[in-house]
């Protein structure tokens, strides 16, 4: 029994050391307190809604988010816009549908069931419009980068003038947190670039935090449900384990042996 506990703690220690040492390069990312971390982590609803605003007004000009639908915006555990708001958001986009009875394709306002409209027809068009670099799809971007939310949050604030002696090509920018420090995307955020509906001051830091929160939700739309269920599951397991432990002790007391 004691060995078992000892083993479990050693194992978790090894895992944490391992995962930390393997986690790409040791970069000190900017820190902020994320409301969705921890046992009971939940998204900050206001932050998600503001984050959606940053996404749609800034990022969506180049970045697609092809695995999300407009209905997701009103679903539980997300930004939780009202169904009417989500419908209005959807209706502000045009999608190509068809063919109709005459065999013609036609455009119509988007519905809740439609996927987020993409800024470019395809990857090649996106590359052509962005000097050869493809602005990655943002649906699971947070999970597709080693540093996760901290990396994205830092990257958005990591634009600086290149150190002396570093030669940057046309259309390449210096970013402290980018792999190799060279990034094709120009600094997307600047103070006051958008005006928040809820009156929050749109500083670069605030926008970075909001949009990163939004991206985290986009990548893990069921995060809140997962945390809720996880807590219940683990409490249940601990109670059951305790009961089984005492049953085991009782049963084994019949024989001359230790458990």
Q: Give the residues lining the site for other proteins (CB under 8 A).
A: 1-4, 8, 11-12, 14-15, 18-19, 21-22, 39, 67-68, 72, 136, 139-140, 143-146, 148, 179, 219-222, 226-227, 229-231, 233-234, 237-238, 240-241, 244-245, 247-248, 251-252, 255-257, 259
CA distance 55 to 134: 17
Kindly state the smallest distance separating residue 13's Cβ from other proteins, in Å.
12
CA distance 2 to 163: 55
Question: Residue 183 or residue 202: which is nearer to other proteins going by CB?
Answer: 183
Kindly state the smallest distance separating residue 185's Cβ from other proteins, in Å.
17
Question: Residue 207 or residue 216: which is nearer to other proteins going by CB?
Answer: 216
Residue 24 Ramachandran class (φ > 0 left, ψ -120 to 50 alpha, else beta): left
Cβ(24)–Cβ(146) under 8 Å?
yes
Kindly state the smallest distance separating residue 175's Cβ from other proteins, in Å.
17
Kindly state the smallest distance separating residue 241's Cβ from other proteins, in Å.
4
36 token code pair: 């969705």
DSSP 25: S
Long-range contacts of 105-111 (CB under 8 A, 24+ apart): 110/70, 111/70, 111/87
Question: Residue 168 or residue 240: which is nearer to other proteins going by CB?
Answer: 240
């Amino acid at each position: 029994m004691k060995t078992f506990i000892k083993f479990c703690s050693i194992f978790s220690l090894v895992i944490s050391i391992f995962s930390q040492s393997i986690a790409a390069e040791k970069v000190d990312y900017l820190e902020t307190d994320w409301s969705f971390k921890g046992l009971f982590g939940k998204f900050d609803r206001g932050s998600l809604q503001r984050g959606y605003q940053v996404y749609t007004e800034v990022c969506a000009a180049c970045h697609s988010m092809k695995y999300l639908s407009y209905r997701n915006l009103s679903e539980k555990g997300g930004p939780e816009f009202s169904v009417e708001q989500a419908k209005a958001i959807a209706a502000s986009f045009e999608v190509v549908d068809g063919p109709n009875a005459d065999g013609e394709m036609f455009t119509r306002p988007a519905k809740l069931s439609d996927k987020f409209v993409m800024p470019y027809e395809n990857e090649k068009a996106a590359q052509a419009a962005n000097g050869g670099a493809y602005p990655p799809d943002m649906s699971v971007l947070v999970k597709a980068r080693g540093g996760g939310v901290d990396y994205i949050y830092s990257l958005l604030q990591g634009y600086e003038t290149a150190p002396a002696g570093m030669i940057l090509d046309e259309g390449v920018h210096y970013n402290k947190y980018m792999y190799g420090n060279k990034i094709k995307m120009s600094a997307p955020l600047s103070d006051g670039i958008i005006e928040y509906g809820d009156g929050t001051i749109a500083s670069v830091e605030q926008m970075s935090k909001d949009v990163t929160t939004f991206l985290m939700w986009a990548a893990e739309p069921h995060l809140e449900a997962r945390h809720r269920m996880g807590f219940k599951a683990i409490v249940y397991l601990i109670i059951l384990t305790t009961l089984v432990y005492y049953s085991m002790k009782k049963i084994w007391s019949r024989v001359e042996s230790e458990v």
